[in-house]
Amino acid sequence: MKLAINQKLAFFCLMLAVTLCSLGVARADDPAPRDMLIESIASYASQTLGVAQERLVVLATDKRLKVPQCPDGFEHSFPFGDQATVKTRCADPEWQAFIRIKIEQEVVKPRPFTSDNKSPGVVLVLRERVHRGQRLSEALVEVRKADDKVAPDALSSKQDLDLLEATRLLRLGEVLRASMVKSAPAIKKGEAVTLSFSQGGLSIAVEVEALANGQVGEVIRFRNRESGQELQAKVTGIGQASL
């Protein structure tokens, strides 16, 4: 009789352990509230800023940040206009926090060039020396008639020259070739940039310094050279940005 009771007790304990273990596994598989918050902020910022989600870093790693379960989902906004601080809130339970985000710099791959669109017998020749990393422009080249020894990757069109930069020192009189250039960011670190913004129907433009390279649509940091104040703005074109 005692043996039968012990067997039943052992079986009960075993079943209880299996149940608790399965519950633990299920909970471990469920996304943690912090992970759900990070994913939600990244998705919101990606759609709002027009930036690929894999380039967004949500800085919500502080262990003091206690994120609740939010069954109805989190709501987000950019309250300060800097596009670097997200206000996130949960209606039930009532909770809110301010989370910083950053955008990782996109690696710009060399642009492939071909001579498919080349005008017959025409090449671009450098009118002055161009340093490595310097942005090209129409003023730096002139169109000349090509000779019989022209390189197959010689460039012939001035179109989009300002989107290219030299990969090495280019000398006066050289024929510009695809192997000499690569894609350049719309804004380069250290360049003077025209920053425009509108407020109350008034449009204002100021000159700032870029603190990082940036492609069109990317949000990067700038510094006002007069006041030293730093701010973030979106790149809108070559040498252009806006708030």
How many Cα neighbours within 13 Å face the side chain of 117?
A: 8
Each domain of the chain, given as residue ranges in start order, spans: 33-103, 124-183, 192-242
The pLDDT assigned to 106 comes to 57
State pLDDT tens for residues 62-92.
778 889 999 989 999 988 767 788 899 999 9
Q: Do domains 124-183 and 192-242 have the same CATH topology?
A: no
Across 151-156, average pLDDT: 87
Across 15-40, average pLDDT: 60
Question: Does domain 192-242 fall into CATH 2.30.30.760?
Answer: yes
Asked whether residue 6 carries a pLDDT value surpassing 70, the answer given is no
Place of tokens 């001579």: 115
Confidence of residue 200 (pLDDT cuts 50, 70, 90): low
Cis amide leading into 93 (omega within 30): yes
Q: Which of 64, 55, 39 is nearest to 102 (CA)?
A: 55
Amino acid at 236: T
Mean model confidence pLDDT for the chain = 79
- Determine contact, residues 130/115, Cβ cutoff 8 Å: no
Across 10-18, average pLDDT: 44
The third-level CATH classification (topology) of the domain covering 124-183 is Type Iii Antifreeze Protein Isoform Hplc 12 (3.90.1210)
Place of tokens 């519950």: 23
54: exposed, middle or buried (Cβ count in 10 Å: 0-12, 13-18, 19+): exposed
pTM of the model: 0.44
